[in-house]
């Protein structure tokens, strides 16, 4: 019996060492996940959308004081702007609560998703911020300074600001690395 327990102990130790080796020392787990995301983007997106408690923090979560009601009611023209986006853009809501409304648009290269552009409006105690950031499938994040405003803009003003964000991000060499699937 003692030999059997020793054998099980050795197997357990080997599995723990392999887990540590793959996850932390060689980054094999992350490489496999990125490859899986590249091969099956729809399935990977479904898995990411359904991950447990989703405790990932956003850079916009600090210094927020929740207000009663929904942000959609305080910036309805931004919601109209989102609703009027062309279906080919494939924009999807990624966050919607009392202080933030955000949607993301995939960045595709030869039919494979290589990242997402995120656009949103955030309520920081009565001052609004429209923000834009890019997140590659490899985890590289590029972020622009937010555009601040005091009250709901027009749909055309939101469109113009998105154009300015896109122009600024598009001229960033690091964005080109994301858009070509290299970052």
The residues that bridge with 100 in the sheet, in sequence order, are 122
For residues 183 and 138, is the Cβ–Cβ distance under 8 A? yes
In 71-181 the beta strands, taken as DSSP E runs, fall at 92-96, 100-109, 112-124, 127-136, 141-143, 147-149
Where does residue 117 rank: exposed (0-12), middle (13-18), buried (19+ CB within 10 A)? buried
Predicted local distance difference test score (pLDDT) of residue 46 = 64
Residue carrying the six token digits 């992350």: 30
Whether residue 57 is predicted with pLDDT greater than 50 in this model: the reply is no
What confidence tier does 67 reach under pLDDT thresholds 50, 70, 90?
Answer: very low
Three-class secondary structure of residue 103 per DSSP: strand
Three-class secondary structure of residue 78 per DSSP: helix
Whether residue 101 is predicted with pLDDT greater than 80 in this model: the reply is yes
Q: Mean pLDDT score of the chain, rounded to an integer?
A: 80
Whether residue 62 is predicted with pLDDT greater than 70 in this model: the reply is no
């Amino acid at each position: 019996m003692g030999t059997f327990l020793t054998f099980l102990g050795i197997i357990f130790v080997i599995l723990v060492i392999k887990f540590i080796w793959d996850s932390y020392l060689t980054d094999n787990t992350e490489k496999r996940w990125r490859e899986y995301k590249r091969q099956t983007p729809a399935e990977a997106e479904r898995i990411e959308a359904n991950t447990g408690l989703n405790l990932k923090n956003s850079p916009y979560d600090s210094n927020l004081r929740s207000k009663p009601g929904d942000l959609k009611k305080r910036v309805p023209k931004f919601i109209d702007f989102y609703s009027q986006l062309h279906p080919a853009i494939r924009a999807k809501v990624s966050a919607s609560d009392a202080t933030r409304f955000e949607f993301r648009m995939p960045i595709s290269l030869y039919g494979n998703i290589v990242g997402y552009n995120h656009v949103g409006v955030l309520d920081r105690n009565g001052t609004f911020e429209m923000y834009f950031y890019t997140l590659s499938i490899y985890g590289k994040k590029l972020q622009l300074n937010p555009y601040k405003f005091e009250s709901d803009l027009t749909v055309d003003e939101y469109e113009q600001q998105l154009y300015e964000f896109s122009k600024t991000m598009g001229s960033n060499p690091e964005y080109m690395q994301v858009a070509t699937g290299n970052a």
